[in-house]
Chain A
Amino acid sequence: MSDSQNGSAGQTRRRVTAHTMAAQQREISVSEFFTKNKHLLGFDNPRKALLTTVKEAVDNSLDACEEAGIVPEIWVKISEVQPGRYRVSVQDNGPGIVKKQIPLIFGKLLYGSKFHRLRMSRGQQGIGISAAGMNGWITTGVPVKIISKTGPDKPAHYFEIQINTQLNRPEIRNGSGEGVDIPPGEKGLRYMEEHGIEWVAHYDVEEPGQPPVELASGTRVTIELAAKYQRGRGSVDEYIELTAIANPHVTIHYEDPEGQRRTYRRATTQLPPEPKEIKPHPYGVELGTLVTMLSRSKEKTLRQFLTQSFSRVTPSAAKEICQKAKLSIRAVPRELRSDAAEALYRAIQETRLKAPATDCVAPIGEELLLKGLRQVLPGEFYCAATRPPAVYRGNPFIIEVALAYGGGGTVEKITLELLRELLAQTDARTLRQFLLTTFDGVGPDAVERILKEARFGSRQVPSKLKPRDVERLYEAMKNVNVSESQTIQILRFANRVPLQFKQRDCAITEAVINTNWRTYGLNQSRGSLPTGPVSLMVHVASVWVPFTSESKEAIASYPEIQRELRLALQAVGRKLGLYLNRRKRVQLEGQRRNIFLRYLGEVADAVSQINGSDRQQLYEQLLKVAKRKTSDADLKFDERGRTLDPAEFGDHVVVVESSPEELFTDSRAAG
């Protein structure tokens, strides 16, 4: 058998030799690798490239500001340079970057301060902003422009940078390879104006008559790239809005390609607490990592190694681990062989260790969650819950959930102009697909009803709609009550960064689906998201958020994370259920009274006709009885006109005041 195999192998022609293969084997530059794998970083299509570019820049800015203890203010401007090509500028009021570092940060992939430490931050790998710059350079040939200022009297450094993708090295294009220093004050501003360099020098004047306050420091990055701007789900607009929700301490000025300016004002000036840096917890370390750590260790004994490289390993715990691994506590870590490392790894798993310190994770907090949500989403009921910290694989994390009930979805908010625009931009093949993909919280069911109301076939092509058809569609979208049948909107966040794609693959979505929302008064079919006018915000904060892929769009489903998600969702669900229950009762009682009131006049008329009694007096007496009989409807509308007493729901709940009449009209529309 083996003979014949050898024989046949010997007869086949050799195609390559080890030498020729060796000639082709060379180091692949990181930049080159990512050029070929752009999808890993979120640059797979022009629409997403625009979003990712904005996102990376804004995330970096926010991290920088918070680290420096500055209340962040961000300016985002997108302009269309020519069809299919956009310029993205993002400026912050952060600490600025020292001159030497600028080319490295923006022009070298995998250069950064975040990868090597365990600490809660938005970005993790440090490939984001340089990859965005590289993508811009590759698609347009226009270098990345950076201007950064570190203090009020310091000069601003101005660089135009491109990445040498072969060598993963920045190349500076201006100031003969050295960049340009722009002096502070008027002179510098004039220089910038002459050279077409954009820079926001002053904050908005908040009260008229006051002198504008100058930005002491900050960084502005401008990237030109091949892109496509489109509103709707997964858009830059959505990202900015979501960021404002999860970061109530940030003010964002946003100017979109059509020149529309929006400002999301901060709801608080209180910065989130500064997250602490921690050493890894032994439970979260994989064998390979452990081997590497051992080989690089400088400690003289194994006990020292264990207590100093990890958190929560006390000398006695280290001793216990060594005993279980049958290793001496005085063994030299560097010299441990791989089977010893494996024994050590197993011993660690078997030893009971204290859970890692959790103060390294900073939640947004219920108070601010509610503020952020209210600032951006209209609604009638808000509640929030922050779970105590928990641990998965040795990494501490915190789950937070906030919920907004009521308020119109995007379908109701839409204007005719915006609809026309959206229809012109869409590349959806059918109207059905357009409605499904453009608007939040519109499920197939709602789409069917809109199409039916507007008398369109489901295969109607959006681009072929006549002006009158668009008006009809608009009317239908206004008329159809999608709020009851719309699927709830899930706003996902990881370390305050919105996750806008791959909702289906995300642990958060899974947890929402697995929660029984029927108990809390929402409709839900088996195995799908509940329906109702609900926006659910879920935030996962951790020193190391487990994403399912490099593009950081979905959170991996660890059992510990699932558990915490479930508990948090149930906490807000219970409060929602309580509110909906009360609301329903008030409504019912109100409807009851309405029915009585409706007939009282007729009864009074009939009686006074029969016996000639005083109609008005009789009517008023009957009215009094009616009111007493339906007194429940009043109980909940106290003197301040509030429908319900928020105190009944426990902490972290906001009930927006609404008059009983509104509730009635509401219920009539629904019925």
Chain B
Amino acid sequence: MAKRKSRTLEKAETAAVLSDSDRRTLQALHELAQKVVQSAAVGRSPYLDIPSRTLSNVRFNKTKRIIEMGSGTSRRELFNLSQAKAYMQTLLVASGAKRLIEQGKTTSLRGLYYMLKHTIKGTSEETFDDQSESDSMIEDVEVLLNALREELHLYAKTQGVMVGPITIIDNGDEIDCSRMGSGGYGIPSIVEPDRIQFRDCKAEFVLHVEKDTVWQRFNEDKFWLKHNCILTHGGGQPPRGVRRLLYRLHYELGLPIYCVLDNDPWGYYIYSVIKQGSINLAYESKRMAIPEVRFLGLRSSDFERCGLSPSVQIKLSEQDIKRAKQIANYPWFANKRAWQKEIELMLKNGFKLEVEALISKDISYVTEEYVPSRLAEGDFLD
């Protein structure tokens, strides 16, 4: 019943204007469906060859200095017990994307999850048990169609924030990012040029910090005003919108990017993602990775250099140690002596440091002392 209804709705709204990328995506979707029809017609088990998003299938491109996805694929078959459900889910996501594109609408990842979630006829089983299932299928469809998430008319929830002397046009609205009060401008999930255009940029560089607390400190101290820069944070691991925006700021406006992240394996990995791209989204590296980004702090030597009190040390856990060694072995870190020393020192210290640790010295130590002197000295890791 519900299905028939949605189909009539669809017809009523197919009038939406299709962009070129929409047409391209629809064509890819159509081919995907066509393959199922063809294998069914000749009595073969339909399958999908999905480029695999694993460490074993990524390659570090030394010349481009980004992570690229390899040619490895994993086959997902309908008539394989352990894959049948995933196969069905993949096609559901594809049909959901088709509906969105035709209707000219976008929805969040969670929205699509609810759109596709229903009880399978004649059973008590749900098509998706939770959102993580549909999220991972969306990524599969992206690599499968070689289409970006936004081309599927999907977006993630807003997570990063920006402030600084720049004016942008977001969906036609002019936004002055130097007049954003204490909250800042929320970076949307889709920041493609057709959505967001840059105007009037007076900033000289971008300072990216890990989390909200540190960002608030910098904003309150009007760091961006004093140093004439754009200030962003990504709420931990930066979402794609933030990474894509940093990429555009760097390549379109030529702004250098500096990161202030925690001195722990997690902070290292965030840096690595911004710099070379993530393993999971290796196919996005070419439009998100910024090999020229620099790591400003915190450094393993900062405990002594800044004369911090021992109470801010956090003991490394077993897992931290394991993760640190793993990161040190990533090909894009393996040949960097400075980084090897950095990680070695942290392991030798036996503790990690969060950016907030600097507050123990003085509330504005990080904005007035630490970052300015690092910038002045030009002391950062590549």
A residues in contact (CB < 8 Å) with B: 592, 595-596, 598-603, 605-607, 609-611, 613, 618, 621-622, 624-626, 628-629
Contacts and interface: CB of A to CB of B under 8 A. Distances in A.
A515 to B, nearest CB: 35
Query: What is the predominant secondary structure among interface residues of chain B facing chain A?
Result: helix
Contacts of A621: 40-41, 43
B239 to A, nearest CB: 28
Contacts of A626: 79
B34 interface: yes
Contact of A598 (B7, B92, B98, B120): B120
B125 interface: yes
B81 A602 contact: no
Contact of B87 (A599, A601, A610): A599
Nearest to A609: B95
Given A592-B81, A628-B43, 5 more contacts: A602-B92, A610-B29, A610-B94, A622-B40, A625-B45
B91 A607 contact: yes
A599 B87 CA distance: 9
Nearest to B94: A610
A598 B119 CA distance: 11
Interface string B1-34: 0010001000000000000000000000110111
Query: What is the predominant secondary structure among interface residues of chain A facing chain B?
Result: helix
Nearest to A621: B40
Contacts of A595: 81, 84-85
B91 A606 contact: yes
A621 B84 CA distance: 16
Contact of B79 (A606, A607, A611, A629): A629
A598 B78 CA distance: 11
Contacts of B305: none
B78 A599 contact: yes
A603 B33 contact: no
B99 interface: yes
B122 A598 contact: yes
B363 interface: no
A625 B99 CA distance: 28
Interface string B77-101: 0110100110110011011001100
Contacts of A601: 120-122
Contact of A602 (B30, B36, B46, B120): B120
A609 B120 contact: no
B159 interface: no
A437 to B, nearest CB: 39
7 contacts: A601-B121, A603-B36, A605-B3, A606-B88, A606-B94, A613-B37, A625-B44
A609 to B, nearest CB: 4
Interface of B: 3, 7, 29-30, 32-34, 36-37, 40-41, 43-46, 78-79, 81, 84-85, 87-88, 91-92, 94-95, 98-99, 120-123, 125, 127
A603 B79 contact: no
Contacts of B37: 607, 611, 613, 618
Which of the listed residues A610, A621, A622, A624 has the most CB atoms from chain B within 10 Å of its own CB? A610
Contacts of B43: 621, 624-625, 628
A607 B125 contact: no
Contacts of A603: 36, 46, 78, 87-88, 91
A605 B120 CA distance: 11
B79 A596 contact: yes
B155 to A, nearest CB: 21
Contacts of A599: 78, 84-85, 87-88, 120
Nearest to A594: B123
A608 to B, nearest CB: 8
B306 to A, nearest CB: 57
B120 A610 contact: no
A198 B361 CA distance: 109
A629 B40 CA distance: 13
Nearest to B84: A599
A627 to B, nearest CB: 10
Contacts of A610: 29-30, 32-33, 91, 94-95, 98
A592 B78 CA distance: 12
B33 A613 contact: yes
A3 B375 CA distance: 120
A605 B88 CA distance: 10
A598 B123 contact: yes
A598 B81 CA distance: 12
Which of the listed residues A592, A601, A607, A629 has the most CB atoms from chain B within 10 Å of its own CB? A607
B88 A602 contact: yes
A603 B90 CA distance: 9
A601 B123 CA distance: 12
Contact of B30 (A611, A624, A628): A611
A607 B93 CA distance: 11
Contacts of B36: 603, 607, 618
A478 to B, nearest CB: 22
A661 to B, nearest CB: 13
Nearest to B121: A601
Given A607-B91, A625-B40, A596 B84 contact: yes
Contacts of A628: 43
A394 to B, nearest CB: 60
The 10 closest A-B pairs by CB, nearest first: A610-B33, A611-B33, A621-B40, A606-B95, A606-B91, A599-B88, A609-B95, A629-B79, A607-B33, A602-B88
A618 B42 CA distance: 11
B12 to A, nearest CB: 15
A625 B84 CA distance: 13
A624 B43 CA distance: 7
Contacts of B78: 596, 599-600, 603, 622
B98 A609 contact: yes
Contacts of B91: 602-603, 606-607, 610
Nearest to B30: A611
A184 B29 CA distance: 97
Nearest to A613: B37
A293 to B, nearest CB: 73
Contacts of B41: 621
B292 to A, nearest CB: 41
Contacts of A613: 33, 37
B201 to A, nearest CB: 42
A607 B46 CA distance: 12
A359 to B, nearest CB: 57
B30 A606 contact: no
Contacts of A598: 120, 122-123, 125
Contacts of B34: 611
A609 B100 CA distance: 12
B71 to A, nearest CB: 26
Contacts of B123: 598
B299 to A, nearest CB: 51
A622 B79 CA distance: 10
Given A595-B84, A598-B120, A605-B3, A629 B45 contact: yes
B250 to A, nearest CB: 38
A172 B92 CA distance: 93
Contacts of B120: 598-599, 601-602
